[in-house]
Structure formats: C-alpha cells, structure tokens
Amino acid sequence: MTTISFLGAGSVVFTRDLLTDLMAFSDLGDLRIVLHDIDADRLSTAESLAQRMSADRPGTTVVAESDRRRALEGADFVVNSIQVGMFEATLRDFEVPARFGLRQTIADTVGIGGIFRALRTFPVLEGIARDMLEVCPDAWLLNYTNPMAMNVAYLHAVAPQLKVLGLCHSVYWTVHGLSELVGVPMDQVQFRSAGVNHQAWLLEWTSQGQSLYPRLDELIAKDAELRRRVRVDMYRRIGYYPTETSEHSAEYLPWYMHHDEEVERLRIPVGAYVGISQQNLDEYADTRRRLQAGEPLPQDDRGATEYAPQVVHSLVTGTRREIVVNVPNLGLIDNLPAGFTVEVPAVVDGSGVRPEPAGSLPTQCAAVNAAYCGTGMLTVEAAVTGDPRKVRQAAMVDANTSASLSVDTIWALCDAMVEAHGDLLPEALRAPLAL
C-alpha cells in the first residue's frame, strides 16, 4: 500500500485535482490517503471530498488527521500545499506595499509579497521537515507551496537530507498554450526549458524537428493585441519565451510596473491576486455546499496534468516520465548561483528522480534571473541566520521593488510589513532595525 499525506488538504479544489489524477491510474494498487489541515472545517470538507472520490476505487483508504505528525507517520509521499496566514495575510501583502506606492500583481514568488510569504512559511516548513525526518525519513516531499524557489532552497538549507521536489505546472501550460496558438497538437511537440520557477525559458520548442518559434513570430507580427502582453514583450526583447503568465512576469522585472504607460500598454492587472484569492474562497464555499447537499462536483476534463500524481505513479510502478522539477542547483545550470533552486527537466522512474543538467543559459536569460535569485538567497539567509538586515537587502535587490522605491522607502516598507505580519514571522526577524 502506498501512503500519500496531503498537508494543506483544506485547499479542496487543488486536492480534488490531485486526487482525480491519482485515481485515474488503475495500476497504482492500494492507496492510503491521509489528509491534514489546521482548519477543522476545511479538513472535514476535504475528507468528504476524498471519501466521495474514492468510493468507486477499491483499495483506497481515506484518513483525516488534525495532528500533523500523526498525518505524516508512514508516508511514502507528502504533498505540501499549505498557505500560512491564508487570505488575511495575502491582503496585508498587497495593502501595506500599496500604501508605499509599490504595485504588485500576484505577490507570491519574489518581491515584497514573496519575501514575506516565504518568511512566514519557513517556520512551518522547518517543522514539517523535522517531523518527516523522524517519522517518514524516506518519504518524498512534493512541494506546491509558493514561493517555490525560496521554499525549496530553505528546506535544502535546514534539512539537506530530505528528498524534496518542487512541482509547478507553469512550463506545461505555457507550452500547451503556445502550441494551441500556433495550431500544433501538444502530443506533436517537443520542448526543453530551464531557469528558475516562474521565470524559466523555453530554450527549445519544436515539432517534427522544426522550431515553432518562427510560427509564433509571424502571429506576433500580425497581431497588435498579442504584442500587448508582458511575456510577449519579454520574448521579443530577450529572444526566449518565459514560462509564467504575464501577470506574474510583470512583477519580477524592473521595466514595467512603475510606469503608468507600460501598465496601460501591456494591460497589467495590478492587485490581481486579491480577486483570485476571493474566487478561491468562493470556490471552496461552493464545493463545501455541494458536498453537504450531495450534489455533483464540477468536472475537469483536461486529463492528468499535475506532476505530483505522475511522480507517485512513476516511482511506484517504474513508468518512465520526463517532467520539470525545482531542485537545488547542484551542477545543473552553470551560470546561476550554486545551491539556490533552479527549474530543469528531470527523468522519473522506478530508480528515482534524475534532474538533467542544462549547461549555461543564454547570457541575457541568466542576467534577468540574477535579481530573482539574489532576492531569494537573501531571504533564505535572513531566516537561517536570523539577520533582519538581510530581509531589507532582499527587498533592495528585488527588481520591481528597487525600480519603484527609494532605499529609505524600502526599509520603511519592510518595517511596516514586519509589524503587519507580527508573530507569523520568525522571532529573530521581528526586532526593530535601525541604520
């Protein structure tokens, strides 16, 4: 029997998607699904969901466990999708920086929002790592929680012996969308990407041995509205297509967010994630209501698209797959910092997970990644060393923040964020800091 523990299982729509993909595999054998969440109502909803979904799959056991350590006992795989602070913390990540004149769109990967989301997530990650090393030391931790790169780097710093994969679907959906745009079926496309999470680069994109980039170039040249997208603008200037949405990409860069005319030209949805978060709350409420009323749940007909179920299936059955993973840069990308998290292709099968070295990125791509990596490394160092000055330094080297605010304003903003998030942050980083 394979045991899969879901941490943050109360994110029931995401849990539903993962379970749908898992249960689509008929050759996985018996499954023990353990659900954990600190919110009793969400945990109960997730349990009802999983019980309904597993009713027609023999050999599936569902357990709901409010105690994290017990939820991890005997796990073969641990899927992490926690969100520390939930919607209220997300609102603070937007509202406080906005008072200082800083624009953000999603605020969960780098930037001020990403820095402070990381800092309030790290203490929980350290607890998860400690529990896993004691009760399921051989388990794989499959992380979906953002900020992906910082979280994986932090786990590598505090628990290097833990088997951790960061999983994100942005590369897949980027290639899927582009291939649909140029009229080539996804199953006829080959691709290779590398970089960092949410800012990797589509280095190769071919069909029948021919690059598909010329087709994309023709479409862009003919369509003025297509040119009004951040990542299309990035592609035209950098030469390689970035692997995250325009909404995300805009706030990872120094070029767009602080110019009113660029926000207008590229249709950048400032503050978009606040609305998305509210939609997630509404979707949870609707799912809860449907379960309680015995109504059918919405169906997703995309097929198996999430990587965690594919990793589980490949490691358990030996089926060979090529996916994209986020792992420490241990000889994988030559011109990005060693030790920090990179996103590269990997082969997964019964013998394990083998990330594939990508060599050196094109110089311009590595240069764009540099600020992202600098912010992430300093944020991790801040938590590991307990040095609040490094929090400010992380913000100072962040691309959008440094392009938008003076250094004095950046420090004042960090002070305000520390006050706003309070005891969600590591204790050492809550201390006032004067120059």
Residues belonging to the binding site for Mn(2+) are 168, 198
Choosing from 169, 176, 258, 259, the catalytic residue is: 169
For residue 393, CA distances in Å to 107, 325, 388 come to 18, 28, 9
421 included as an active-site residue? no
- N-to-C CA span, the chain: 57
**Look-up: residue for tokens 């290779």?**
192
Distance, CA of 286 to chain centre: 24
Residue 214 makes CB contacts below 8 A (sequence gap 6+) with: none
Binding residues for substrate: 146, 265
Q: Is 325 helix (H, G, I), strand (E, B) or coil?
A: strand
Burial tier of 41 (Cβ tally within 10 Å: 0-12, 13-18, 19+): exposed
Q: Is 391 helix (H, G, I), strand (E, B) or coil?
A: helix
Q: What percent of the chain is helix, strand and coil (3-state, nearest 5)? A: 50, 15, 30
Binding residues: 146, 168, 198, 265
Amino acid at 122: F
CA-angle at 105, arms to 164 and 154, nearest 5°: 20
Amino acid at 327: V
Report the catalytic residues: 169
